Structure 1
Amino acid sequence: MNSTIDKVRRYREILADIQDIEIRVQELEEEIIGISGIEMGERTGKTYKITSSVEQQAEKLMERKEDLYKEQANKKRELKRIENALTILTEEESDIIKIVHIEHRKYYVVQEKLKLSYQRIKQLEKQAATKMEKYIS
């Protein structure tokens, strides 16, 4: 249960990570454009071996860009798992998980909104985490 809730708590962090990766990719693209404007010097030979330091630098940047896209895809899948898991919850369970673990608000906010006791909220929270575990783990 705790690992499921821990993953849900990271929801907003994952969103920020995805956006950060997008920014880093844009920076890499700008750097690649800057490198491509530099005179190449030696060109690729018949063996297709990269001989220019500029070409090697551009190749490394392209590999880094590809790695960032893979990392971003993994994070997007993680978000989709969480969102999918939330769809199987009742409205009350979903509200509890969203308010307490995604928005990082206090339990009294849920108590006021749902007009439930703290004990009932904790019970529903545990129930929700158990349901979600199948889809998130």
Structure 2
Amino acid sequence: MNNTINRIGKYKEILADIGDIDLRVQELEEEILGISGQGMEERTGKTYKITSSVEQQAEKLMERKEELFKAQATKKRELKRIDNAMTILTEEERDIMQIVHIEHRRYYVVQEKLMLSYQRVKQLEKQAAIKMERYIS
């Protein structure tokens, strides 16, 4: 249950990571365009294949871009898991998980919004985490 709550708590961090990866990919694409304008001095590699340092540099950047896309896809799947798990919750449970764990606000905010006692909020939170565990783990 704690693992589920911890993963939900990283929702905004995951969103920020996805945005950061988008920025890194844009930077790589600009760098790839920049190196393609460099000279094409050729040399022979160990395999006797004629390659240029520009091609090698571009290849490394393309590999890095692929790694970033894979990392981003993993993070997007994690968000989809959380979003999917949230769909099975009641409105009260969803509000609790959203406010406390995604927005990182205090329990009294939920108590005031839903007009519930602290104990009832904690009880609903536990129920929600148990329901979500199946979809997030």
TM-score (norm 2): 0.95
Query: Does structure 2 conserve the Cα–Cα contact (< 8 Å) formed by 1:25 and 1:68?
Result: yes
Q: How does 1:35-46 map to 2 (within 5 A)?
A: 35-42=35-42
The gaps in structure 2 that reach 5 residues or longer are none
- Asked if 1:124 is matched to 2:124, the reply is yes
Share of identical aligned residues, percent?
Answer: 79
- Helix, strand or coil for the counterpart of 1:88? coil
User: Structure 1 residues 72, 49: closer, same or farther in 2, change over 3 A?
Assistant: farther
Could you report, residue by residue, the CA deviation over 1:89-121 in whole angstroms, capped at 9, with x for unpaired residues?
000000000000000000000000000000000
Give structure 1 stretches of 5+ with no counterpart: none
Specify the alignment match of 1:27 in structure 2. Answer: 27
Q: Secondary structure at the match of 1:51?
A: strand
Q: Conserved in 2, the CA contact under 8 Å of 1:14 and 1:75?
A: yes
Structure 1 stretches of 4+ with a deviation exceeding 6 A read: none
RMSD across aligned positions (CA)? 1.7
TM-score (norm 1): 0.95
Alignment size in residue pairs: 136
Q: Distance in 1 between matches of 2:80 and 2:48?
A: 41
User: Counting strand residues as a fraction of each chain, which structure ranks higher?
Assistant: 2
Q: What's the CA shift for 1:49?
A: 3.8
**CA contact 1:50–1:56 (8 Å) conserved in 2:** no
